[in-house]
Structure 1
């Protein structure tokens, strides 16, 4: 039995040739949906520009296909809110040139961009856009952008481009989240503090998910009628609703069998005294998660 984490549930299904409603026998997943990412990003777009045309920098792989999907992608969430998604054209990773995408961004007059690019590809796009005189006010990007600049590539030029672009991203866990482990009472702040003390390394978002995974395993084995029988353990997981350091994980509600949702809020990488820091800038769907800073754009001072 394999719990999966850190992958949008739509991708978790489609990577296994399954559709929503399919029930797997042994695997259980906790994460978020592409629709949840779209809602977080739309909140941020609206804070800097109301209803907007947004340039979409999406690849030609499964990820880009799902983001474009008429049912599971961004459009079903963002279009009813008045946003126009302008597809800048699919590209192959790793990218070598974004001239065509920059030209389409200019044609559509979009000054907001959303993407799921790697750090290196996003830096290349931003560099070429800037050289062409195109300056997005805000870039929202998931995937690798949930990590600090220095963890995704050692290239300093990539760090500089990302910092200059004021990239906003999704946040699924931080020391500022208000959750507590149902196993031992550990808070998010305590988990991050203890990790940094014991390892000498900075906390990363997956830390909270790793702890929640252990909490889930402990609960499933304790709740199973026979913890040595995988069918019994799987049955216990299917009926699990659990308070964890990553939030409430509820496999009884869906959005599809075998999946529990994690809450998402908006964050942004901003300059800090010890390098880039992840600031929580939007909590529209989860007001219990505190905002710790103001959203900044590339052209304007911080917005309220």
Structure 2
């Protein structure tokens, strides 16, 4: 079993450890080829969001190994080079790293993932430079409308596949209906792209489903005192809390919630953005057992990554074998980035023609590690929606890890198997 540790905000960003990567680190598939396809991969590999990038080095190497013989497109064989740049969890740096990558490395395509703080500035830089860009793992509304998207005048170069803020209402309704509650939901939403998108979309939708929402108001990321929000939720008798915090902020909130008596009142503590990784739960110790989350990918997804040549189980096991750490959602989500880009490059007929690659993306339908990505029938131009499943962190019954992520609701993905029933939150499990 792993030991429970208390991880400070300063140390939280170091959860990726040695996996944190310097800008412009590259992985190349060795092959006798006519030309090389250059893929720029911008992501948070250090800082508060660094845990999202833990799998990136391993994925880049596994992808290069899979493509080592070269890729044949349009009668030519191309080598593959993946160039990684670290945003350090800073949107301004994400924008600058992308511009530097474009100006210095001339990538044929750029990929990025993990929260609007990454996807939006990267996509904006690519849109301005005329470079095809594919992103994931951020509510599509925060990506599209957060960047000033106009359905009548869509983005030309940037494409995004992910769950949507509008998906959370049916997802949560399916999850929360598993338990009897007073249907009073305390909403903890930050003042950022995620929080604003969720506030405008999710609260009205939940109220339409019969939930009473108590919004504590926007707060700034990295807040150190949540007593006002906690007392507000206690006063209103909230038995469900729905939070979308930065990963380092949730332990601060929930420890204070336990100290002030809110955790003892709550039956469902539902997280998004935070609570996605076992390392977060280990840092919470006894307070982590029973926390509810969601998964945009799980090791039990009945899916396959063509670009990596691995099933979901193989992706999870491969990550654990390579890193010595418990599997996370990121190997599957980011493998899907490679799946989509490879499908787009192949459909373009000429991967060195940026306009052809972007044109291929607009109507692309691709099988990926997270399921089918369908840009042809998305809710907005350049947008494809992928599913979420409801999960709960419980004590692992055996094995080397303390926590297990059980699938408790599959309302949006009925092909994904349920593994446990949702249980009311109790400190200590």
- Scaled by the length of structure 1, the TM-score of the pair is 0.88
Measured in 2, the distance between the counterparts of 1:126 and 1:39 equals 25
Measured in 1, the distance between the counterparts of 2:240 and 2:395 equals 21
In the alignment, is the contact (CA less than 8 A) between 1:113 and 1:140 conserved in 2? yes
Which residue of the partner structure matches residue 274 of structure 2? Answer: 144
- Scaled by the length of structure 2, the TM-score of the pair is 0.64
Higher strand share: 2
Alpha-carbon deviations, 1:136-182, whole Å to 9, x = none? 111111002112234x8xxx7x5126415x22111011110111234
Unaligned stretches of 5+ residues in structure 2? 1-131
In the alignment, is the contact (CA less than 8 A) between 2:288 and 2:428 conserved in 1? no
Picking from 324, 335, 340, the partner of 1:200 is 324
Measured in 2, the distance between the counterparts of 1:43 and 1:292 equals 15
Unaligned stretches of 5+ residues in structure 1? none
In the alignment, is the contact (CA less than 8 A) between 1:226 and 1:233 conserved in 2? yes
Which residue of the partner structure matches residue 68 of structure 2? Answer: none
**SS at the partner of 1:139?**
strand
> Radius of gyration: which is bigger?
2
**SS at the partner of 2:231?**
helix
Picking from 396, 406, 412, the partner of 1:285 is 412
Alpha-carbon deviations, 1:199-247, whole Å to 9, x = none? 4333221111221111222211111133321111111111111111210
1:130 to 2:254 alignment: no
Residue 133 of structure 1 deviates from its aligned partner by: 2.7
Structure-2 change in CA distance of 1:253 and 1:291 (3 Å): same
Structure-2 change in CA distance of 1:222 and 1:61 (3 Å): closer
Measured in 2, the distance between the counterparts of 1:199 and 1:96 equals 32
Picking from 235, 244, 256, the partner of 1:107 is 235
1:68 to 2:192 alignment: no
Residue 47 of structure 1 deviates from its aligned partner by: 1.5
In the alignment, is the contact (CA less than 8 A) between 1:118 and 1:145 conserved in 2? no
1:276 to 2:403 alignment: yes
Deviates more, 1:104-113 or 1:88-97: 88-97
Picking from 96, 100, 123, the partner of 2:224 is 96
Alpha-carbon deviations, 1:35-57, whole Å to 9, x = none? 11232222222211266010111
Which residue of the partner structure matches residue 344 of structure 2? Answer: 220
